[in-house]
Each structure stands twice: as structure tokens, then as C-alpha cells.
Amino acid sequence: MDEYRVKADIVEVGRRMYNRQFVASNDGNISVRLPDDEILITPTGISKGYMTTEDIVKVDMTGKVISGSRKPSSEIKMHLAAYQNRSDVFSVCHAHPQKATAFAVARKVCKDIALPEVIFSIGSVALAGYATPSTQQLPDSIREIVKKADAILLANHGAMTVGKDVYDAYFKMETLEHFAGIILYARQLGGEQGLSHDEISELLRVRREVFGKSDLGYLGDGYCGGYEIDAAQKKDVDLQELIEMITIAIMDQLKTNTQ
């Protein structure tokens, strides 16, 4: 593998992410796993739209720097968690595309599969619970989920996609953002209409037989990957919903008593 060519591809994908406003300022990170299990990764503290091949850092599977004059991304552990848990993954992209990140901030994933292209390209979209960026919480939050999904919304943070190479991972990010935008528009028109179980099964057959991809991440019930929020966070969500329900009930009762 031509290492310089891989670095140039990372630089090009960073430029595309920046130009499409998937990242702002110094946000986002991109990595590629080489055949010898060394990792090329973008550095911390630099705009992804203005990198050069000299900026790319090489590390081993523990995150130790092998070569490069810059510090690797502060979220390198998230990338390593993907590689350590998926032998078929050779690239990771992390960004903050606005529409997909809106779903992540709302802590929601699309319910119904509504676009064939999402099945062909991604398979499913999962949601990871909130984790503080640049800490061990982040790789821990995706460690199990990445075994079943190629696209993950990171609660209140952004999105992560994985692929067989840097362009595959990046194009999944494009598809994720495109899908999020279509769903947002559809909901302004009354909501998306999901495909039937039979229609999805046929799309999965095409995914396997035409595109040569597995059914990785698909749950088999016509829905996307669903929520992956830990018990403590789930308790907080339930409590918040209960408080809101009680508040609405009290306000309704007060309105009734004053009429």
C-alpha cells in the first residue's frame, strides 16, 4: 500500500468534510488502518480543510506515536475501539454534520427505514449514549455498538462512520447527513412513510447479492439501530418524561379549576 497516497486521500476527505460544513474550525478526525495494523490519523488542533500530508500522524494500535511531528487527534481512542472490535474496518470518520448531529442532540434515530440507499450504503443507524469527548467514556460508548453498525450518532456530539477505506467511511457520512435532511423535511410534511418488512427484506437481498455486503447492524424488524443509552441515562430520561407529564397534568387541572 502506498502510504503517501493514503495520506493524500485523508487530506482530500478532510477538505471535503470542511467544504460541506460537516466540520467547523478544528473539529472532526479521520483515520486509516494500514495492513500492518499501524494507524494514520489526523492531528489535533488543525482545520480539516487545510491539512497537508505532512500533518498526518502514524500511531500503533495502542495509540503510541510512530512518526509525525504533530499530536494525534484527542479522540484517537474512539478510532482504536472501532479497529479493535471490527477486523473489516480500515477507516473511521468522525464529524459534526448539522442535520445528523441535530438527531444526535435530540438523542433520536430515524424509526422507519425510508430510503433504499441507506440500506445499500449503511445498513442501519445506531445511537450511542452521551460520553465526554476526548475521554475514555467515548470509546466505551461505541465499543459494542460498532460491532453491529457502520454509522453511529454520538449523543450531543456528532456522528461516526466506518468503512473499508477512507472514501467508503466518508461516503457513509454523506449518506447519513443526506438521509437526516430528508427525514427532517418529511416530518414537516407529516412524517416519513417507512418501507414494509417485505420491501426491506428484498433490499437486503440486493445488498447481499448485488453489493456483496453483509446484513451487519440490521435488526430485522424494519427499524434502524435504535437507542443505545445506558441504564443511568435511561433512568434520567424516564424521570424527565415523568416530570413533564406531571407538569402538563397539573397545568391542565389548574386551567380546568379556573374556568
Contact (CB, 8 A) for 44 and 74:
yes
Given 12, 38, 75, 228, the catalytic residue = 75
Within the chain, where are the H helices? 3-19, 76-85, 98-106, 116-121, 137-142, 166-188, 197-209, 231-258
Rounded CA-CA distance 125/161 in Å is: 10
Give me the DSSP letters along 187-209: HHTT---PPPHHHHHHHHHHHHH
Q: Are 22 and 59 in contact (CB under 8 A)?
A: no
Q: How is the beta sheet containing 226-228 ordered, strand by strand?
A: 65-67, 57-59, 39-41, 29-33, 91-95, 158-163, 151-154, 125-128, 226-228
| Residues 152/146, Cβ–Cβ less than 8 Å | yes
Q: Which residue has the cell 468522525?
A: 94
* Bridge partner residues of 118 (DSSP): none
CA separation (Å) from 36 to 40, 59, 60, 82, 119?
A: 11, 11, 9, 16, 31
75 is catalytic: yes
88 burial via Cβ count (<10 Å: 0-12, 13-18, 19+)? exposed
Q: Which amino acid is at 15?
A: R
Residues with active-site annotation: 75
